[in-house]
Amino acid sequence: MSTAIFMVLMVCGYWYTSRDLSSRFKIKRSFGWDVYFLVALYGCIFVVQGLIATGLIWLMLLVVSVVRNSFPHSQDVYYHYQMEFMNWSFLGIQAPVLITLIFTVLLCLYRSNWSGSARLDSSGRQKLYKQLSHTNGVEGLLYQCMEEGELAWVTLTSRRIYIGMIHTATFDSGNPNTNNVVLIPFLSGYRDKQTLDLVVEHNYSAWYDEHNISLTSEPNSAMSFRKVIMLDQIESLSLFDPASALALKIKPR
């Protein structure tokens, strides 16, 4: 019996954390035993909720028994539905335990798939990303760029540099190696090996202006030039202010 409860607890915890967006972010920020404890925590929450629901059923049966016993009887018969409920068993499992497990599974399925929080719209996801990104510097800066239209300066481990707009960023994929940032480049280049100055190779912004390319232009738009950068390839990330660009040491190629 205890094994069945433990298995349901862990399975429900895993099911919920693998489908709830907020929980997936928490799992990604956890390591080692913290992951198991987080899964067990959500499982315990569902089990406790199942116990509360089972307790309400017991109280309802108690009230029904008291009400029926308050009426006069022709025979000396007393009703104890709550005791029958406690003593009833199915396949060797007592009714309270079985009902608790059923409620636990149903509550987990509801919270994972059917509740409003499990089906966030675009505005709901945006609020959630904003709330969660406050705990991580990289995610917070990327979210600021996406929300306010700021330009980002992205330096890769290969010393290559991209300056542009952050279109989207993925942090909650199942495989950490696929987490990425989609950037619309304005400038690209690399760090000089000796002076570490920025050497510009491609001036995308001049190309956009020359060919009247924008985010909504047709048949070609700026999205056609987007770059997908894996998150583990980013060495540093900062905001880029075009107004102060002249103060930077930028060498043409």
55 and 162 fall within a common domain? no
Answer yes or no: are the C-beta atoms of 179 and 231 closer than 8 Å: yes
Q: Round the CA-based radius of gyration of the chain to a whole number and report it.
A: 29
Report the alpha-carbon distance of residue 51 to residue 53 in Å, rounded.
5
Query: If residue 170 lies in a helix (H) or strand (E), which one and from where to where?
Result: strand 160-170
103 and 216 fall within a common domain? no
Query: If residue 127 lies in a helix (H) or strand (E), which one and from where to where?
Result: helix 122-133
Token reading at 31 = 């390591």
Q: What is the dihedral of CA 210, 211, 215, 217, to 10 degrees?
A: 150
161 and 198 fall within a common domain? yes
128 and 109 fall within a common domain? no
Mean pLDDT on 73-101: 74
Report the alpha-carbon distance of residue 236 to residue 154 in Å, rounded.
6
38 and 158 fall within a common domain? no
Question: Of 59, 93, 118, which residue constitutes the final position of a domain?
Answer: 118
pLDDT band at 123 (very low <50, low <70, confident <90, very high): low
Query: What pLDDT sits at residue 126?
Result: 61
User: 48: domain range?
Assistant: 2-118
- Say how far residue 119 (Cα) sits from the centre of its chain: 12
Report the alpha-carbon distance of residue 182 to residue 229 in Å, rounded.
6
49 and 35 fall within a common domain? yes
Does the pTM exceed 0.95? no
Give the list of residues 6+ apart from residue 180 with CB closer than 8 angstroms, or none.
169, 170, 228, 229, 230, 231
Per the structure, how many domains does the chain have?
2
Instruction: Say whether pLDDT at 20 is over 70.
Output: yes
Q: What is the DSSP letter of 205?
A: H
* CATH number for position 225: 2.30.30.100
pLDDT band at 34 (very low <50, low <70, confident <90, very high): confident
161 and 57 fall within a common domain? no
